[in-house]
Amino acid sequence: MTDCIFCKIINGQLPAKKVYQDELTCAFWDARPASPIHILIVPRHHIPTLNDVPEGDNILAHLGNVAKKIARDLGVDKSGYRFFINVNRGGGQVVYHLHAHLVAGNDVGMLFIKAAVACAVIWRKLVKLFRRQHN
Ligand code: AMP
Ligand code: ZN
């Protein structure tokens, strides 16, 4: 499709940091990543949304297999990642060329939050203990 940015990336008319390509798909880094790792896995042929995938088309299984391979290559298959498809406006879809998101790498952020909460709990306990001893 001439006006589609993902078709243009696939055809090489627009730049992207491609990480994987095969006869059915192309995967590249998201231009505005929501996490340290944010890859888009895109079918080569233009399908607007998940709703437009014909019954029996194996493209969804293929997107999943590509995600598994990329996650393995990036070393996040064991630690974990999210794999999702936004569908239409209410589902958060902005680019109307079917694509799956592979998102990972927020572990450090979560670890930091958990550590901060643990520190706050310990601090409150210490303050209580200190007050009890001095009353
Ligand atoms: P969605 O909201 O599911 O349609 O996701 C579209 C995604 O495409 C967003 O995460 C955008 O940051 C990303 N995006 C838009 N334009 C580009 C581009 N030229 N190159 C790479 N990613 C893009
Ligand atoms: Zn397209």
Phi, psi angle pair for 114, to nearest 5°:
-65, -40
Contact 82, 38 (CB under 8 A): no
CA of 24 from ligand 2 middle (Å) equals 13
Q: Is the CB of 31 under 6 A from ligand 1?
A: yes
Same domain, 27 and 78: yes
Domain count, the chain: 2
Same domain, 123 and 83: no
Give the pLDDT band of residue 115 (cuts 50, 70, 90). low
Give the pLDDT band of residue 110 (cuts 50, 70, 90). low
6: number of Cβ within 10 Å: 22
Q: How many whole angstroms separate alpha carbon 91 and alpha carbon 76?
A: 26
Predicted pLDDT at 135 = 73
Predicted pLDDT at 21 = 98
Q: How many whole angstroms separate alpha carbon 4 and alpha carbon 133?
A: 69
**Residues within 5 A (CB) of ion ligand 2:** 1, 4, 6-7, 46, 97
Phi, psi angle pair for 45, to nearest 5°:
-90, 150
DSSP assignment of 33-84: -SSSEEEEEEESS---SGGGSPTT-THHHHHHHHHHHHHHHTT-TTT--EEE
CA of 82 from ligand 2 middle (Å) equals 23
Same domain, 58 and 115: no
Same domain, 133 and 90: no
Same domain, 65 and 25: yes
Q: Is the pLDDT of residue 98 over 60?
A: yes
Single pTM value for the model: 0.83
Q: How many whole angstroms separate alpha carbon 98 and alpha carbon 48?
A: 5
- 15: CATH: 3.30.428.10
By residue range, what is the domain housing residue 127? 107-135
3-state secondary structure of 109: helix
Same domain, 68 and 134: no
Same domain, 9 and 42: yes
Same domain, 88 and 122: no
pLDDT tens digit sequence for 38-88? 999 999 999 999 999 999 999 999 999 999 999 999 999 999 999 999 999
Predicted pLDDT at 111 = 60
Same domain, 90 and 130: no
